[in-house]
Structure 1
Amino acid sequence: MKVRTSLTILFTLITAAILLGYASVIYFSARENREKEFYSSLKKEAITKANLFFNAKVETQTLQDIYRNNREILNEVEVAIYDSAFNLLYHDAVDIDFVKETPEMISEIYQKGELKFYQENWQVIGLRYDFEGKNYLITATSFDQYGYNKLNNLLKNSIVVFIISILFIYIAGRFFSKKAFDPVREMTGKAKKISATNLDLRLNSNGSKDELSELANTFNEMLSRLENSFEAQKHFVSNISHELRTPLSAIIAELELSIDKNRNIEEYKSAIHNALNDAKKLVRLSNSLLDLAKASYDPSEISFKPLRVDEVLLDARHQVQQANPDYKIAIQFDSDSYSDGLDPEKHGEDNEISVNGNEYLLKTAFVNLFENGCKFSKDRQSTVSVSFENKRLILKFSDNGIGITQQDLKNIFNPFYRGENKTFADGNGIGLSLTKKIILLHQGSISVISSQRTTFTVELPHL
């Protein structure tokens, strides 16, 4: 069921319940008022006839004739008068006697002074009447034909008005819900036209602050994010294709040259060595892409725990020097150099050197910065200094390399970007962009300055 239909039915049901409650109050109030008014009328008729009988001394036959004549035209009140000993003194029509009084009924009227009850749909009232110091008992009964007719007409009219009102409310609800959901229908039609090929389309917003405008703005923001993601993905795939094509083409060329004609052992070794180097480039590229994918995960899906940064730095240095024995990496703590590691126990609490992070990703970031510094330095040396400032841990990775131009500094953290110094050392342009993603993932920041000496500054919140 559509929301429009659901709201219309819900609105109709709520309104119907309110109208039904209102009509019920009116009907039952009218019924109660009819009953009270008719009992009051019966009481007046009973007292009037008693006054005529006792005070005016009107003959019994005359009163009975009046009753019988009136009864042919309207529902005349039937009155009976008894003394306290249950002796009948007067009755409008003994042959009819609708009430059929009993000693028990007379006794109850005498004790209570007034009694009201129904016999079928006839209302009956009994009351005690005092005359010249003696107690008499009077009963009066009649059928309120006029009152019941009015009550039935009220009920019929209420039912008719209720049904007509519900139909009108339902039609009005359909009309107004259509008006209210026209913008939603327009948004739905526009959204159906949006696909991967036209993510530039946006939903119309009237500029107000209502819920529909907020929904349209939120949807447009989501589309903007998707569009950026698609563009980044296209760019990413294009760069990967380019990076993979170069080493694969080189491997194929080396192998084709090797099998083109017979060669000596040295030439075969040279071809295998070149192909092996290109294969290693592919492995490094695939590892970098895997690390980049991990750094792009939802932070909630990555496990974090307290880590000592000095230990991660030592592990990163060991990994870099194991793969490149000619690389030299120095780690400094509070301006003091240690050739075999750090001694943070002499420089403050463990919390100052600890961060909440992912060990694998942090080590990957530090490895990238170490390798970047060493491979672009003629002396193959990189230095990291560790210091503290308020609640942050500051790491400065420096080298005495060839430097980075101001133009390259603007794009150095973009994926697959290679600067003017790409001829100095091999690379795939992933390392620094991956490092920035990892640092940001750890609620940190990274910046770079370069002239003749390049320094990457990493700030991380410590425990």
Structure 2
Amino acid sequence: MINIRSRLTYQFMALVTAILLLFSVGVYFFSKLYLEKRFFKRLQDRAITTTTLLFDLQATDSTVLKLVNISDKELLIDESISVYDRNTKTIIFSSNNGKMFSYQQLLPLMKSDQITTFTEIGDYKVLGIHLKKGNADNWVIVSAIDKNGTEALDDLRRILLIMILAGILLLGLSGWFFAGRALAPMSGIIKQVNGIFPEYVAKRVEHPNRSDEIGLLVATFNQLLDRIEDALVMQKMFIANVSHELKNPLTKIYSQIDIALMQKRSPEVYEQSLNSLKEDTTTLIQLTNTLLNLANTIVSSESVQKTPIRIDELLWETKGQLQKWHEDYQVQINFLDFPEDEEALILQGNEASLKVVLINLMDNACKFSDDNTVIINFLANESGIKIAFMNKGSIIPASDLPFIFHPFYRSNATAQATKGHGVGLAIVSQVTRLHKGEVAVVSDENGTVFTLWFPKVTE
């Protein structure tokens, strides 16, 4: 696979080579036009000189040739000058009788309405000038080989080819060098990244220029490292908390079994020990179930099967189930603005997961309330569904609010008051996020309010 440095070099070479070729073709083309124009001008001068001497001054043929040759310091190669009379269809003057092809091949191209005609016949460049004066109707035909122009174009073509090849070589070397310099910071970044291990996850990648593309890439990578570090810290906390939660009941179970086996005891003592073991086992089962619920929520939203759910009906169903478990709990539901359109009450979601969210928030509100009462305010409209759970009880300190949705985190204000594992709110946060919703909490002297918000998502 071609690396970035080679790819940049090849692309740079291809681009500049195309520009060089375009420039060289342009130089060659316009040089060719210039040389042809200059040679055409010399042929035209010879034709005009010949015409002036032959018709205006009435010079003889030999005198014309001598004067024409004297007038041009640089003689044309294989030059031929002829005057063709269209009336008599004969050559009335020729400087080279052996070269009679010029007029014979040029005459078919001549038109009466054109003053000059220029063409190429083999290696010869031929110019015809139409002269009409009175009854006289003549064509002056001048032909010659532009050897100097041809040699100049050949030299120019060789020079351009050599310069292009030299330019490509220079482009390859310079492109490789500058691509290496441009990508040099990447080598340093790779070394820094290879030096980051889980035990040194706090280390970050350094780059001097934070405003260029590599700097933006480094900033994005550092943000990724921040999230990875947070995840690792959460993982360590999770493992430590799970170990702690499992250790206490297992230790109690082992101790009680060990004490019971030390000596024979009465049936009443054994029954008391079994009841205690049952209570500790129930605690383990509850902890295992909450961990399973938490694990089931840490999945992508695509893996959760969703169906249309009427939230108001699910709310009443959850209330009935909670009060069946806890008869002393009081759940008051207020519909602040019940919509006329029942579609506003429907949410695309997973019924079992949403039921866990509602039952956790209801249970927590009643459990930490002074009178085991929760007031639920329900609001649904075209923009979304809002459910607020309010209770009167201990105030959650502001320093604890950012962490209460973390697994196994328990506020000091509530940890000693009731039993729990600190997993319920973590499940609430995960499930709400999977349903594209938000959960917020406010706690002050007026009470504690947990608010769920599910916006209407257009599929």
Q: Report if aligned partners of 1:317, 1:329 keep a CA contact under 8 Å in 2.
A: no
Choose which of 86, 92, 95 in structure 2 pairs with 1:92: 95
Partner of 1:280 in structure 2? 282
Partner of 1:460 in structure 2? 453
1:191 positional shift: 1.5
1:320 positional shift: 3.3
For structure 2, the 5+ residue unaligned runs are none
Aligned ranges 1:130-149 → 2 under 5 Å: 130=132, 133-149=135-151
Aligned ranges 1:29-178 → 2 under 5 Å: 29-61=30-62, 75-84=77-86, 85-94=88-97, 96-97=98-99, 99=101, 101-102=103-104, 105-106=106-107, 108-109=109-110, 111=112, 113=114, 114-130=116-132, 133-178=135-180
Partner of 1:251 in structure 2? 253
Cα distance in 1 for partners of 2:317, 2:128 equals: 109
1:115 positional shift: 3.0
1:91 positional shift: 2.0
Partner of 2:352 in structure 1? 360
- The answer to which of 210-219 and 426-435 deviates more is 426-435
Cα distance in 2 for partners of 1:215, 1:209 equals: 10
1:118/1:306 CA distance change after superposition, 3 Å: same
Deviations 1:304-345 (A, max 9, x none): 6664444333333343344x4x532323234xxxxxxxxx69
1:327 paired with 2:320, answer: no
Cα distance in 2 for partners of 1:149, 1:462 equals: 81
Paired-residue identity, % = 24
Cα distance in 1 for partners of 2:44, 2:400 equals: 107
Q: Report if aligned partners of 1:307, 1:357 keep a CA contact under 8 Å in 2.
A: yes
Cα distance in 2 for partners of 1:462, 1:58 equals: 107
Matched residue SS, 2:438? coil
Amino acid in structure 2 at the alignment position of 1:275: L
Q: Report if aligned partners of 1:110, 1:137 keep a CA contact under 8 Å in 2.
A: no
1:327/1:399 CA distance change after superposition, 3 Å: farther
Choose which of 203, 226, 241 in structure 1 pairs with 2:205: 203
Cα distance in 2 for partners of 1:107, 1:427 equals: 111
Matched residue SS, 2:139? strand
For structure 1, the 5+ residue unaligned runs are 335-343
Partner of 2:442 in structure 1? 447
Choose which of 346, 354, 375 in structure 2 pairs with 1:384: 375
1:207 positional shift: 5.7
Q: Report if aligned partners of 1:75, 1:145 keep a CA contact under 8 Å in 2.
A: yes
Count of matched residue positions in the alignment of Structure 1 and Structure 2:
445
Amino acid in structure 1 at the alignment position of 2:328: K
Q: Report if aligned partners of 1:82, 1:138 keep a CA contact under 8 Å in 2.
A: yes
State the superposition RMSD in angstroms: 3.9
- The answer to which of 286-295 and 382-391 deviates more is 382-391
1:462 positional shift: 7.2
1:450/1:57 CA distance change after superposition, 3 Å: closer
Deviations 1:268-305 (A, max 9, x none): 54444433333322221122123223444445654566
Give the alignment's TM-score, normalised by structure 2: 0.81
Give the alignment's TM-score, normalised by structure 1: 0.80
Q: Report if aligned partners of 1:370, 1:382 keep a CA contact under 8 Å in 2.
A: no
Deviations 1:53-105 (A, max 9, x none): 334444335556789999997515211223223222222222x3162543x75
Matched residue SS, 2:129? strand
Cα distance in 2 for partners of 1:405, 1:135 equals: 117
1:33 positional shift: 2.2
